[in-house]
Chains A and B, each alone.
Chain A
Amino acid sequence: MSRPRLVDTAKSGLSLAPELLVRMHDLMVKARVLEERLIQMYKQGDGYFWIGGPGEEAFNVPLGLLIKKGRGIEYDYLHFHYRQSATFLAMGEEPIGALRQMKNTATDPYSGGRNFAGHFSKAEWNLTPVTSPIEVQYATAIGTGLAQKRHGGDAITIVTGGDAGTAEGDFASCLVWASRPGNELPILMIVTHNKWGISTASSTQQGARSIAARGEAFGIRNKVIDGNDPEVSYRELKEAMDYVRTERRPFLLEASVSRLYGHSSASGANFVKSEPDCIPLFEERLEAAGIMTRKEMDAVRERWTAEIAAMARQVREEPLPAPEDIWNYIYWERK
């Protein structure tokens, strides 16, 4: 992967280091293959419900790569929503956990078979529990932001939601609390805008010039970016994060993304051809720049397809939780 190549940046417009581009491509494909496997598991009866983030990889992978990962106040606190498997994989998470959660096995590392697909949790990396209500993460983000503001350092709170959820009051709460005069919070507020809330077009429900523009009234720096471009995403995320890390003030970043398999399995989870797909778009540029060949890119997909299929077969054999497990962890127990 690291052998020197002749990069034709003029033709492709690519400017990040080739190693990084190749790494991002690998993670984007890995995340897509994982989501497609999850969908297949749902369709084959190996799960009750699918929801996830195919179409958001070009944004979510750079996000995961830029996170300061660890446990406790010296590290970034993450308040994600349920379309961020690509972020989680880019942080170094093994894909098998998502498969276990899909199959609701006792080995599901995020919820022990209790929660939907894509509802990750990992205290070891400050990843707070992903929940089905699409707004509450903007409320809990306030608290980790407060703690980090008081603590100092460069760790920040990162909260992500979709465009539809910004209609909820918790989004406004986060804007208000993050911008209290003299006590601004180091929160990177992210909205991945896929233009839909299940079946409802955001253009019929939201009259703001942009979601990012709502930050202006609060003095919150903000930007709308093309989240389907991994280079743009990487650069803009880095700039926004650097600002939040050093200035200890909030930033509101709105990224346009696609929703390539609909809202969830409830709407069929079939491929949507009418929206841009970040992976072939990126691959065209990688190929044009001479960074990767078609053959190499195909090999990446084949490798992840085989590996993740093997994991899915393994997960199928794993035990489900026991009925008496419902009584575990109602309250905190020392593990």
Chain B
Amino acid sequence: MANMAQAIRMALHYGEEHLGVTDVFGEDVGPPLGGVFTCTQGLKTAWNSPLDERGIIGAAMGLAMAGQRPVAEIQFADYIYNTIDLLKLAGNTCWATNGDWHLPMVVMTPVGAGIRGSIYHSHSFDAMMSHIPGWKIVMPSTPLDAYGLLISAVQEENPVMYLPPKALMRVRGEELIPGEPADPRELSKAIDAPLGDRSKWKPNWPKLEYYAVPIGKAKIVRPGDAMTVVAWGRTVPMCVEAAKVLEAEGVSVEVIDLRTIWPYDWELLKASISKTGKVLYVNEDTEVTNFGEHLVRRTVDELFFQLLAAPKLVAGKFVPGIGLSDPLERASVPQVDDIAAAMRALAAEQP
């Protein structure tokens, strides 16, 4: 089974072979490195840019204007902040011109904590990004979804922000990507660049198949009936783990992977919350003006009389950074124990 980095690489390969992707670029994206997370090794359209995030986003916009289909990478989401007015511009280009121009472009940037990345390799970006209309924002939590969401993203006519969680890049999936060899060693031998001299290396791509996860569709990853837990990115597998703990305690938790932050799948959330009467939103971005706060507000607005308890949010602490030391990082972003405790408290609430 592929890990997420391999899944992204395979989706980009499929994109450049079959879906018209013309450029996969950014800092260290092309050979010899192929990305600091190896996501872009062996791709025929991958190239290295100057160390200039504003140039990267501007180049992606211009390439899209000139009829190309670019996928630009910002190496870590922590370094995307100096491009924020270009992100705003990309988001308003179609609207500001009353539909005269639109930008089919993908920006991917790894997000979140969990790799002991300290203050500048641990940021989340989903809440900040959700303040910039005109984009679609996706965040996979499994390699198969990483593949399928990227296949959808590169076919979009609008800018798509693709946010793979850093901590999940090396986690193997439980489902095969269509066309992927079943033996992970075989896959690695075929598409992972060797250590050392790579100048003569060429990947031996498996015969991949089209598989798209539609943008805007969430997924029930674990059915249950006592409460709904909606998470995205790295906190999805944590919520599943916590749900298993709660199951042992006799509480049945439904876990939903939001997958698309915007435009999100309210219908699925509404159906689940209407069924369980309780909802906990979980993500690792900082908790003040967190996207989960919007979901809490909408839940209260639209589902108030179906709720058995106040909607809850577990998110990152509102502190200026993720400290490097293990106790600091663990105290800053939700851990499985925190999520399980929140589930337990919510389960105990009586109307």
Q: A interface vs B, CB < 8 Å?
A: 72-73, 77, 79, 108, 110-112, 114-115, 119, 121-123, 128-129, 131, 133, 136, 138-148, 157, 169-170, 173-174, 176-177, 180, 328-333, 335
Judge whether A169 and B65 touch: CB under 8 Å.
no
Judge whether B134 and A143 touch: CB under 8 Å.
no
Judge whether A139 and B100 touch: CB under 8 Å.
no
Please tell me if B59 contacts chain A, counting CB pairs below 8 Å.
Answer: yes
Judge whether B58 and A121 touch: CB under 8 Å.
no
| A315, B114: Cα distance in complex, Å | 59
* Extra contacts besides A73-B67, A77-B62, A180-B50 (12): CB < 8 Å: A110-B97, A114-B95, A121-B97, A143-B59, A143-B65, A144-B63, A144-B65, A147-B68, A148-B66, A173-B55, A177-B52, A328-B99
Summed over the interface, the residue pairs from A and B with CB atoms below 8 Å come to a total of 137
| A73, B63: Cα distance in complex, Å | 10
Q: Could you show 6 A-B contacts with beta carbons less than 8 Å apart? A: A114-B98, A131-B96, A140-B59, A142-B55, A146-B63, A331-B102
B64 surroundings in chain A (CB, below 8 A): 143
Which size bracket describes the interface of B in this complex?
35 or more
Judge whether B65 and A140 touch: CB under 8 Å.
yes
B273 surroundings in chain A (CB, below 8 A): none
Closest residue to B25 on the A side, CB-wise? A146
Judge whether B67 and A170 touch: CB under 8 Å.
no
A121 surroundings in chain B (CB, below 8 A): 96-97, 100-101
| A169, B50: Cα distance in complex, Å | 13
User: With A114-B96, A121-B97 known to touch, is A177 a contact of B55 (CB < 8 Å)?
Assistant: yes
> What distance in Å separates the Cβ of A259 from its nearest Cβ neighbour in chain B?
25
Contacts of B61-76 to chain A: CB distance below 8 A: 61-68, 70
Contacts of B247-277 to chain A: CB distance below 8 A: none
B60 surroundings in chain A (CB, below 8 A): 143
| A165, B69: Cα distance in complex, Å | 29
A157 surroundings in chain B (CB, below 8 A): 62
User: With A173-B54, A331-B158 known to touch, is A144 a contact of B101 (CB < 8 Å)?
Assistant: no
A128 surroundings in chain B (CB, below 8 A): 62, 65, 101
B133 surroundings in chain A (CB, below 8 A): 330
| A332, B135: Cα distance in complex, Å | 11
| A111, A142, A174: the one within 8 Å of B98 (CB) | A111
> What distance in Å separates the Cβ of B290 from its nearest Cβ neighbour in chain A?
23
| A200, B48: Cα distance in complex, Å | 38
Judge whether A332 and B62 touch: CB under 8 Å.
no
B70 surroundings in chain A (CB, below 8 A): 143
B67 surroundings in chain A (CB, below 8 A): 72-73, 147
| A119, B101: Cα distance in complex, Å | 14
Contacts of B276-297 to chain A: CB distance below 8 A: none
A176 surroundings in chain B (CB, below 8 A): 50, 52, 55
Judge whether A146 and B62 touch: CB under 8 Å.
yes
Judge whether A328 and B58 touch: CB under 8 Å.
no
B97 surroundings in chain A (CB, below 8 A): 110-111, 121, 123, 129, 329
> What distance in Å separates the Cβ of B63 from its nearest Cβ neighbour in chain A?
4
Judge whether B98 and A328 touch: CB under 8 Å.
yes
Please tell me if B174 contacts chain A, counting CB pairs below 8 Å.
Answer: no
Please tell me if B94 contacts chain A, counting CB pairs below 8 Å.
Answer: yes
Please tell me if B86 contacts chain A, counting CB pairs below 8 Å.
Answer: yes
B96 surroundings in chain A (CB, below 8 A): 111, 114-115, 119, 121, 129, 131
User: With A122-B100, A169-B54 known to touch, is A329 a contact of B62 (CB < 8 Å)?
Assistant: no
Closest residue to B49 on the A side, CB-wise? A177
Please tell me if B191 contacts chain A, counting CB pairs below 8 Å.
Answer: no
Closest residue to A143 on the B side, CB-wise? B62
User: With A330-B134, A332-B99 known to touch, is A139 a contact of B55 (CB < 8 Å)?
Assistant: yes
Encoded as 1 (CB less than 8 Å from any A CB) or 0, chain B from 41 to 53 comes to 0000000011010
| A333, B85: Cα distance in complex, Å | 24
Please tell me if B157 contacts chain A, counting CB pairs below 8 Å.
Answer: yes
A147 surroundings in chain B (CB, below 8 A): 62-63, 66-68
A145 surroundings in chain B (CB, below 8 A): 62
Judge whether B54 and A129 touch: CB under 8 Å.
no
| A119, A170, A180: the one within 8 Å of B54 (CB) | A170
Please tell me if B80 contacts chain A, counting CB pairs below 8 Å.
Answer: no
> What distance in Å separates the Cβ of B215 from its nearest Cβ neighbour in chain A?
11
| A72, A119, A140, A148: the one within 8 Å of B58 (CB) | A140
Please tell me if B89 contacts chain A, counting CB pairs below 8 Å.
Answer: yes
> What distance in Å separates the Cβ of B95 from its nearest Cβ neighbour in chain A?
5
| A119, B49: Cα distance in complex, Å | 30
Please tell me if B93 contacts chain A, counting CB pairs below 8 Å.
Answer: yes
User: With A176-B50, A177-B52 known to touch, is A332 a contact of B65 (CB < 8 Å)?
Assistant: no
User: With A72-B67, A331-B158 known to touch, is A129 a contact of B93 (CB < 8 Å)?
Assistant: yes
| A261, B97: Cα distance in complex, Å | 27
> What distance in Å separates the Cβ of B62 from its nearest Cβ neighbour in chain A?
2
| A128, B103: Cα distance in complex, Å | 11
| B62, B101, B102, B158: the one within 8 Å of A142 (CB) | B62
Please tell me if B340 contacts chain A, counting CB pairs below 8 Å.
Answer: no
Judge whether A143 and B101 touch: CB under 8 Å.
no
Please tell me if B2 contacts chain A, counting CB pairs below 8 Å.
Answer: no
| A307, B50: Cα distance in complex, Å | 50
8 nearest A-B pairs in the assembled complex, by CB-CB distance? A143-B62, A139-B58, A112-B98, A147-B66, A332-B102, A143-B63, A173-B55, A329-B99
| A77, B101: Cα distance in complex, Å | 13
B86 surroundings in chain A (CB, below 8 A): 136, 139
Closest residue to A169 on the B side, CB-wise? B54
Judge whether B59 and A142 touch: CB under 8 Å.
yes
B98 surroundings in chain A (CB, below 8 A): 108, 110-112, 114, 328-329
Closest residue to B104 on the A side, CB-wise? A332
> What distance in Å separates the Cβ of B41 from its nearest Cβ neighbour in chain A?
21
User: With A114-B95, A115-B96, A136-B86 known to touch, is A173 a contact of B58 (CB < 8 Å)?
Assistant: yes
> What distance in Å separates the Cβ of A332 from its nearest Cβ neighbour in chain B?
4
Judge whether A140 and B61 touch: CB under 8 Å.
yes
Judge whether B61 and A143 touch: CB under 8 Å.
yes
